Structure 1
Amino acid sequence: MPAATFCVLLSSWCAAYYLSGLRAFVRRLLVCLGLSVKQQIWEAWLDEKNGFVGNAENSAMQSTIPMKNLQDILPLYGVEQDMLLSKMGDITICYQLELPEIFTMSSAEYEAFHQSWVKAVKLLPEGYVLHKQDWYVQKNYGGDFEKEHSFLSLASERFFHERPYLAHQCYLMLTLRPRNRKFVTSFGSTLLRGHIVPEETLDPAFAKTFEGVCSQFIRVLSDSEFVGVKRLTGDGLIQLVNRYLLLSDDSVMGDLAFDRGIRVGEKHCELFTLANTDDLPGYCGARMDYEKYGTDGGKFPIGFVSPLGQLLSCDHIYNQYLFVEDNAAFIKGLEAKKKRLQSLATYARENAYGREAVDQFLNEAVAEQRTIVRAHFNVLAWTDDGARVQEIRNLCTAALAQIDATAKIETVGAPQIYWAAIPGNAADLPINETFATFSHQACCFLNLETNYQSSQSPIGLRLGDRLSGRPLHVDLSDEPMERGITSNRNKFILGPSGSGKSFFTNHLLRSYYEQGAHIVMVDVGHSYKGLCTLVGGYYFSYSEDERISFNPFRIDGEGQPGTEKKESIKTLLVTLWKKDSVEFSRSEYVALSNALQLYYEKEIPFRSFDSFYEFLLTDFTKAVKEDRVKEQDFDLSNFLYVLRPYYKGGEYDCLLNAAENLDLLNKRFIVFELDTIKDHPILFPVVTIIIMEMFISKIRQLKGVRKMILIEEAWKAIAKAGMAEYIRYLFKTIRKHFGEPIVVTQEIEDIISSEIVKKTIIAMSDCKILFDQSKYQQQFDEVQQLLGLTDKQKAQVLSLNKANDPLRKYKEVFISLGSRHSKVYRVEVSPEEYLAYTTEEKEKLQVTMAAEKYGGMEVAIASLTN
């Protein structure tokens, strides 16, 4: 969208030229006379109006410039009917906006949001002023040390305490000027003159009509679903005005002085304006490409003026003004201007160029039915440290350069521009500080995003803001379901070795454990031993000397087991019997169902695999013969022969004959480490399935308690053809019992090669968590399709760790909730948490040795971090 071409000053050119010429003449005259330019200009202008807000500490200025009490010259009359009323008769309604979070919108979403602003502006009649004020104030995160914390939680609070970040608030002010209210210029302002309230403002219909227009405007924005709106009333309006006059949230009053720039108390201010077409970028749009996060695989979009907002790391306000023009009158004036330029075209090439620009402007205004507005944008930055003023200038200049605009530091007109930014006083902005353009171009300069927001849910984990690392509370389970973003709590985690996958998973599980969840893990890499030891959980590791023993046939009480139990046992038996390549027929399924039915109908003192095998040898063999079951339908002899090693005296006789089951019901953190049998073709799948069957038994008995099961590389063992139905059953059942299954995998090839992963695990996981995929960038399109990621989400994934802060140690994670909501967070933790989560062998050994020396994990970690 060309900005400079259409942002033609036209009628304001003459006024700007006149004013700039007059200022230059006065400067040259005063310099010749040896007088101080700024001081004498202000004396000449302000003595006549008898109005100035000065610095009481500046004794030199006190002798020449009269002082004024702020209340005497404040342009606002007060608050009436929750509206700001100015002394010139302007009425203003204020709103606080909740904008989309930065780095979360796609190019199409930026365009859609931009169009919502254009449509809303089109509803504003002549005489309306839109003033959008975005505040960016540096703050420090305050740790919560009042409530009770665990060892790691308290360490996190200490680590992030006073972490600096840029807080953002956005305010929208809609102002209606009285019909006969004339525009002001740099020579006149409510800062310099008295006030006469027009009778029109006193008419109740005036305010009622205004409120109706504002409601329509806000409705258009709200319907876009990009922005949340809250109207400010009463004390909220007063606080907003006071905040601007003090440039602070506290109530400490300070002097306001314009003798040497702008001074608000101890704050040194710098004002940069975009009010001249020569300073504007050649092109503008709803978004721009952010090179830091861009890759060869795609561009990363951010808002067009984000460099003036969240990416400008200093205290500042970004003011945006749109004055709605009378289109018919403005076009009529342009037509006259076009004729004058035509008649003068032969005398100067500039006149010919001006005529062509006016003609192009008129053609688009009429043909496209464009809304013409006058626009002004400025950045007011400040610092308490006078030595940092130059640094602030450099930051603002660089930010303006990022949008291809020329930095202009406002000097002479700074007091009037600052004064016009007082909430409710937007109509007092000097007209010569604006430029004429279409609303489409003007809305490109509106800030469209804010910083990351924390969830208010009590459930979740702590992650970091991508820009500053400010700690955020993120709910990946309950809040997304309540808001309709997701339909389940299932999670799928993908990340290559060394990407931080296990580290993040430790952090996730620890957070949920401290919030009361019951957690069972099937691991193959000793990634969770440190955390398990720290929280006092059960840690089971299979070895020849200490074998894990189960009894999946045992049930509480008499009678038949439930459907879930039967399906689990049948899946186990099929795993023991069939190879992956051998098909399991329907007749064999029926035979196993009948065997289990008859087995549980018979009175048996102690149920185990041994008793089941003996039942098969006797009663069931007899039943098969009586029913004349053909061998091709069910080969009982083969079934018994294959299962013989699990019967007493066999190689694996202890595996399925435990005298009692492990106590999964009362222990909230349990890890099964199966690294030593991960490649065993029999033990690994059998043990894995039994563990999951026990977890299903757990979720049936614990009502109203969050239950989580995490399966690392063990999913490969259970994702066989004969167990596909069991996986589907597991993912569907856990959701109904307040459960959360989490599947973790390492390689992209695992996804591509496994039908069960593609069609079950991914399809039924509304939460997808990905880590650095840069080495798979060239083949990521296929993964994008398999995971169902949008182009926006692809750009987010490929941007991981592209511009990390070199002064801090962390990695980034991509989290997608449903099909539309996705963000990238920092995974940054305290040194204590790092030692509890680390999977580096050297660091793990260091912690283990310290724990043996000091007698506990907490003491060991504390000693290593002090």
Structure 2
Amino acid sequence: MKNPVVQYAAAAGDYDEFQNLLTGIIKILGDGYLLQKQDILHKTPFDPAPAAEYLQQKFNAHFAGRAALRTDTYLTITRQVKKGRFYTYDPKQLRDFRTAVHKVTDVLKAAKCEPSILSEKQITELVRRILAMRFGNGPFSLNNFKPTDTDIRMGERSVRCIPLVNSDNVDMPGELGTFTELNENEAVRGFPVDMLSFLYKVPAFEAILYNQVIEIPAQQATLNKLEVKRKRHSGIPDPANALCVEDIDLLLKDVARNGQLLVNVHYSIIVAAPATDIQKSVNYVESALFQLGIIPNQNAYNQLELFRAAMPGNGVELKNYDWFLTTSDAALCLFFKERAMEDEPSSFRIRLTDRQGIPVAIDPADLPMRTGRINNRNKFVLGPSGSGKSFFMNSLVEQYLLFNMDVVIVDVGHSYSGLCAYYGGKYITWSDERPITMNPFLITGDEYNLEKKDNLVTLIALLWKGAGGSVSTIERDVLTATISVYYASAFLDGSGVDLSFNSFYEFALEKIPEIKSEERIPFDLDEFRYVLKKFYRGGEYESILNETSDQSLLNERFVVYEIDALQDNLVLLPIVTLIIMDVFIQKMRNRRNQRKALILEEAWRALMSPIMANFLLYLNKTVRKFWGEIIEVTQELSDIIGNPIVKDSIINNSDTVILLDQRKFRDNYGEIAKVLSISATEQRKIFTINQLDNRESRARFNEVYIRRGSTGEVYGVEVSRQQYYVYTTEKPEKNAVHIYVQHYGSYPAALDAFLADIERSGLPAGDFVQKINQQNKPLIL
């Protein structure tokens, strides 16, 4: 089975739910049953599936062999029989046992614990692996076995059994919860984790088996024994006896008031490690237990006994001194409840890492759509400068291009130049000499529809009023009527109209006065004529709306529009962005068999005006019908706070929210959380980004929070060195890699030579890059 609580899920309620689930299972089983739960933590070298693409091969090589911590969980149900010299076969008891097992299985299935009943072959292998303390899928063998009073030697390894409780002196905290909280630093304080979560961090261990056993005794007989014990202690006036009476009274009241079951419970942690390191591992475990208020048994000389009792179904071998009596609720608090992240079952997946640095594959769109977790594929990305936003987006785009995906990016910082060059995409930059042009008016009769007309009305309103302006209802109706008549006359046989902004401008200056006169309505024709004149023949921007764009772009899989030069141009930035989005709309409609993604970096802020509100709303809603998605990326807090257009047009239509390190925004996070509908539980996850102690033995990485629907997870963005130098936004590194690409003719050959030369030179990477840029050619040793 699988534990239902995902590690670092921050969902305190999930621990309570699993506790209630286990309580229900105990009540289903009833008197005479043993419930044994075994959680096995073991390290398995990461073994990725082969990849055909160069960068993905390097990603695999980067992680291959990294120790992945896995958790396997087994639940064993044992029915005790009357002890005697001979076993008597009772078909009714066997039938009842099978019924109980099936009931428990059904309960676990309903809770999505994915239980499966093991075959005889699987049970045999599990027992043998426990005997060898070797887990996973690799080969193993049983080694020399030498039990002592303090441990069990297996060749060069040592196994230590640590009972959590000494039944002669039960040292447990007065209160237990279903989880504990992290207290490592201010950022993670209060973050819920499993009571035994320290097991993930035990140093030098090879495998850990946490054996949890509950025996359900006959309830009335147990209560009677307690009453007898209470009377015996109360008969002798003594402080120690008075404490015993008080404890028994509390227990009996708890059982009577809350309907709890009395159970005998046993816990033991079995650690396997190299003989030279076993003491280090054991010291860490005992120290962690002390911090929980649990003093483990320091005199566990029955090591072989405890190890045998850890075999599946062998809890009956535990002696009286290995058990202690408590309520079922208290007993289940120390049951292990977590599991690690796992690959999602889908054919459309991207790879990130879990929080221990092991690759994990998630589906960013299809699976969440099928399961109802999200209703659209759109994404909203927020991360301050330096948080790794561009790095994450490069990783996402690289993996999108492994599928049948068309990607169009509007960028303002040259963040994608390396990836575009690697894939041989179209990289289009704005300059006054070579502006980005298009003729949005040049369409056929079949292409003309209500949607296209609305887009043209929006464009003309934007040209006239600017990004910060607005048009009245009368003005919009006049523009709509003018466009309708313009195309009605243009599509007449023999009209000879050259569809372009020039011809529309001439037509509008004739038609609008007629409409004004007929309808007797106000319309500032002089302002309209003067403002739009700069886009007309002979004007400053005459080519932008009158020259047909490169039609081959409609068939390009990867197109980047770099409009950094327009960042401060309040007139052209929104217009050019709108033109580019129109290109995407054409791709969206014409390339129906391709996935499509439009990524708007900071440029989308130019469209945050009342004029553009309906267009943005239309685009965000419509794209899902054409197997597409829109990703809006920003680093500015002001972009989302206090801007109703962002919320109504973008955020409300982006079911996936992606957040990078949010510490810079923490003081204002109440407002962000309100706009993005982030719950308190999700905020706890967000503020652990880059705050855990999980950087040992890992390359440089950043963490990212991805919320699909109402819940999200934190992942790592860690890549190979080859991928890093493709993604890099540092200008010196870009230049140095470009020098190698020009020399070697291809990115794979250039990256291999570049990294090999760094190693051969013996220089730090920064110094090597500087040297390559200075000599403007690859290193010659």
Q: Could you report, residue by residue, the CA deviation over 1:567-609 in whole angstroms, capped at 9, with x for unpaired residues?
A: 2211111100114554312222222222222222224454221
Number of residue pairs matched by the alignment: 742
Letter in 2 for 1:509: V
Q: Does 1:863 align with 2:766?
A: no
Q: Distance in 2 between matches of 1:580 and 1:685?
A: 6
- CA deviation after TM superposition for structure 1 residue 100, in Å: 2.4
Equivalence for 1:483 = 371
Q: Does 1:284 align with 2:176?
A: yes
Q: Distance in 2 between matches of 1:408 and 1:531?
A: 58
Q: Would the aligned equivalents of 2:617 and 2:648 in 1 still touch at CA under 8 Å?
A: no
Pairs within 5 Å for 1:298-377 = 299-308=190-199, 314=205, 315-344=207-236, 346=237, 348-377=238-267
User: 101-110 vs 490-499, which deviates more?
Assistant: 101-110
Equivalence for 1:684 = 573
Equivalence for 2:83 = 181
Using a 3 Å threshold, how does the CA distance of structure 1 residues 640 and 559 change in structure 2: closer, same or farther? farther
- CA deviation after TM superposition for structure 1 residue 806, in Å: 5.1
Equivalence for 1:667 = 556
Q: Does 1:152 align with 2:55?
A: yes
Equivalence for 1:578 = 465
Letter in 2 for 1:366: A
Using a 3 Å threshold, how does the CA distance of structure 1 residues 571 and 666 change in structure 2: closer, same or farther? same
Q: Would the aligned equivalents of 2:702 and 2:716 in 1 still touch at CA under 8 Å?
A: yes
Equivalence for 1:211 = 98
Larger radius of gyration: 1
Identity over aligned pairs, percent: 33
* TM-score after normalising by structure 1: 0.82
Equivalence for 1:242 = 128
Q: Could you report, residue by residue, the CA deviation over 1:709-762 in whole angstroms, capped at 9, with x for unpaired residues?
A: 000111111111111011110100001111011000102222103211122311
Q: Could you report, residue by residue, the CA deviation over 1:53-78 in whole angstroms, capped at 9, with x for unpaired residues?
A: xxxxxxxxxxxxxxxxxxxxxxxxxx
Q: Would the aligned equivalents of 2:165 and 2:296 in 1 still touch at CA under 8 Å?
A: no
* TM-score after normalising by structure 2: 0.91
Find the partner of 1:525 among 397, 401, 413. 413
SS at match of 1:379: strand
Q: Would the aligned equivalents of 1:548 and 1:655 in 2 still touch at CA under 8 Å?
A: yes
Letter in 1 for 2:470: E
Equivalence for 1:594 = 481
SS at match of 2:646: helix
SS at match of 1:793: helix
Equivalence for 1:140 = 45
SS at match of 2:404: coil
Using a 3 Å threshold, how does the CA distance of structure 1 residues 322 and 486 change in structure 2: closer, same or farther? same
Listed as ranges, the gaps of 5+ residues in structure 1 are 1-95, 183-195
Q: Could you report, residue by residue, the CA deviation over 1:317-346 in whole angstroms, capped at 9, with x for unpaired residues?
A: 1111111121111111111111110112x2
Q: Does 1:552 align with 2:552?
A: no
Q: Could you report, residue by residue, the CA deviation over 1:471-496 in whole angstroms, capped at 9, with x for unpaired residues?
A: 11121111111122111111110000
Using a 3 Å threshold, how does the CA distance of structure 1 residues 546 and 749 change in structure 2: closer, same or farther? same
- CA deviation after TM superposition for structure 1 residue 389, in Å: 1.9
Find the partner of 2:448 among 561, 564, 576. 561
Using a 3 Å threshold, how does the CA distance of structure 1 residues 525 and 855 change in structure 2: closer, same or farther? same
- CA deviation after TM superposition for structure 1 residue 108, in Å: 2.4
Root mean square deviation of aligned Cα:
2.1
Find the partner of 1:119 among 8, 11, 24. 24
Letter in 2 for 1:685: P
SS at match of 1:499: coil
Using a 3 Å threshold, how does the CA distance of structure 1 residues 604 and 114 change in structure 2: closer, same or farther? farther
Q: Would the aligned equivalents of 1:271 and 1:410 in 2 still touch at CA under 8 Å?
A: no
Letter in 1 for 2:133: L
Q: Would the aligned equivalents of 2:199 and 2:285 in 1 still touch at CA under 8 Å?
A: yes
Letter in 1 for 2:121: D
Q: Distance in 1 between matches of 2:245 and 2:680?
A: 43
Equivalence for 1:230 = 116
Q: Would the aligned equivalents of 1:294 and 1:300 in 2 still touch at CA under 8 Å?
A: no
Q: Distance in 2 between matches of 1:726 and 1:688?
A: 12
- CA deviation after TM superposition for structure 1 residue 213, in Å: 2.0
Q: Does 1:798 align with 2:698?
A: no
Q: Does 1:165 align with 2:53?
A: no
Q: Could you report, residue by residue, the CA deviation over 1:784-831 in whole angstroms, capped at 9, with x for unpaired residues?
A: 121111111101111111124155311111111111x31111111111
Q: Could you report, residue by residue, the CA deviation over 1:154-205 in whole angstroms, capped at 9, with x for unpaired residues?
A: 1111111111121111111111111x138xxxxxxxxxxxxx6611xx3332
Q: Does 1:744 align with 2:629?
A: no
Equivalence for 1:647 = 536
Find the partner of 1:131 among 22, 26, 36. 36
- CA deviation after TM superposition for structure 1 residue 224, in Å: 4.0
SS at match of 2:5: coil
Using a 3 Å threshold, how does the CA distance of structure 1 residues 624 and 559 change in structure 2: closer, same or farther? farther
Q: Distance in 2 between matches of 1:125 and 1:243?
A: 31
- CA deviation after TM superposition for structure 1 residue 268, in Å: 1.4
- CA deviation after TM superposition for structure 1 residue 462, in Å: 1.4
Equivalence for 1:404 = 293
Find the partner of 2:272 among 369, 372, 382. 382
SS at match of 1:133: strand
Letter in 1 for 2:60: E
Using a 3 Å threshold, how does the CA distance of structure 1 residues 818 and 659 change in structure 2: closer, same or farther? closer
- CA deviation after TM superposition for structure 1 residue 622, in Å: 7.0
Q: Could you report, residue by residue, the CA deviation over 1:349-400 in whole angstroms, capped at 9, with x for unpaired residues?
A: 21121111112211222222211101111111112x3212222222322332
Letter in 1 for 2:476: Y
Q: Would the aligned equivalents of 1:107 and 1:287 in 2 still touch at CA under 8 Å?
A: yes
Q: Distance in 1 between matches of 2:525 and 2:501?
A: 16
Letter in 2 for 1:125: G
Equivalence for 1:814 = 705
SS at match of 1:722: helix
- CA deviation after TM superposition for structure 1 residue 219, in Å: 3.5
Listed as ranges, the gaps of 5+ residues in structure 2 are 757-781
Using a 3 Å threshold, how does the CA distance of structure 1 residues 604 and 328 change in structure 2: closer, same or farther? farther
Q: Distance in 2 between matches of 1:220 and 1:438?
A: 22
SS at match of 1:540: strand
SS at match of 2:435: coil
SS at match of 1:292: coil
Q: Distance in 1 between matches of 2:11 and 2:513?
A: 68
Q: Does 1:471 align with 2:373?
A: no
Q: Would the aligned equivalents of 2:441 and 2:501 in 1 still touch at CA under 8 Å?
A: yes
Q: Distance in 2 between matches of 1:587 and 1:540?
A: 38
Q: Would the aligned equivalents of 2:165 and 2:295 in 1 still touch at CA under 8 Å?
A: no
Find the partner of 1:460 among 349, 355, 362. 349
Equivalence for 1:23 = none
Q: Would the aligned equivalents of 1:308 and 1:318 in 2 still touch at CA under 8 Å?
A: no
SS at match of 1:543: coil
Pairs within 5 Å for 1:39-54 = none
Q: Would the aligned equivalents of 1:312 and 1:399 in 2 still touch at CA under 8 Å?
A: no
Using a 3 Å threshold, how does the CA distance of structure 1 residues 229 and 293 change in structure 2: closer, same or farther? farther
Equivalence for 1:615 = 507
Moved over 6 A (4+): 310-313
Equivalence for 1:537 = 425
Using a 3 Å threshold, how does the CA distance of structure 1 residues 377 and 255 change in structure 2: closer, same or farther? same
Pairs within 5 Å for 1:699-778 = 699-778=588-667
Find the partner of 2:515 among 613, 624, 637. 624
- CA deviation after TM superposition for structure 1 residue 238, in Å: 2.6
Using a 3 Å threshold, how does the CA distance of structure 1 residues 409 and 517 change in structure 2: closer, same or farther? farther
Q: Would the aligned equivalents of 1:461 and 1:511 in 2 still touch at CA under 8 Å?
A: yes
Equivalence for 2:317 = 428
SS at match of 2:29: coil
